[in-house]
Structure 1
């Protein structure tokens, strides 16, 4: 009888522990499910920080093909009074896409002028596509802007590439005395729901890895992990 009672007690303790464990797991799952959108959204804002304030110029980060939508975002910043001039950076490489007008920089200036900016508000800088691409781009662009006595610049970058670009420009900007303000824009997905979109998912993790690569290579400082 005593053995039976002891076994019942042990079984009762085991059952209570199992119930507690199940409740803990269910509660944890519900907690994660409740807060994961906020956590993922915060992660997106970490890789795409948005600064505030006015600047002398808006810099459109370099690519091989300049998108009209990107230029329009830059022009909106100018029309809102946050900047006075637009700098478009174009990557020139041996892999240049076919069909681009030649010379492309003249074509860009004319197009942007047709869209509403005065010629004296437009700069197009052609930079070579050499690794580390973003860091070398920043050196060339800011060395040109400092001649115009530029003190502040808004860096317009696409999607989750923003943090890496911002810090590359910020590091170089300290050398030239140019303050950088980051400004992300998104195409193909929204920052508050990027995890629900395959392109957003790929971009977040791909750019996150590239950002860490820049840190590990010493292109940008470790402090870039925790501050803007």
Structure 2
């Protein structure tokens, strides 16, 4: 069936165009190998990489100054190369067929960075309802659903709601990002959250302001722990 579908609907790597890539459905081995993986050393809380040699676990300045609400955050790759291109196509070009590949990237990161850790719920970072209607879907919810299927954990987008419209975080400074998302989220169905171990999923993490605000809302709703997993680090 796979061979037949490839004949009818030819697949090409979105990075280099090579036909019928095998590593992922739409990412070939060479492009995946060239992707900038997020690897140690990085902050043990937010996962932000640091340049140079560090032979011990450390906490970055930002997390030391203000401890985040999440318990830890990890990302698979940098937001560039073939993974960055896949995320942009998923988010802006409705390329939903790329979600399984990106969910596979998330699963690999999960197994590497949270080995042996169990989660009760996979919760995506929500979009404000106006933006979600305009786009037609929430890319983080699509990724969370695909990941949940792979790890046998229910994806529950209804656990968290964005209650305030916010401007895009892209061109904001770190303090502006914090202010932009402050009190922008609220937890829902708190009887489902009470005592639950939550895996919070998003496509990209930059300063961590958005996932921190989400984690705060989830813990206020009763979650016992919140670990963050994103495809890319901005």
* TM category, shorter: 0.3 to 0.5
* TM-score, length-scaled by structure 2: 0.36
In terms of fraction of residues, the more helix-rich structure is 1
**TM superposition score normalised by structure 1:** 0.36
The structure that has the greater radius of gyration is 1
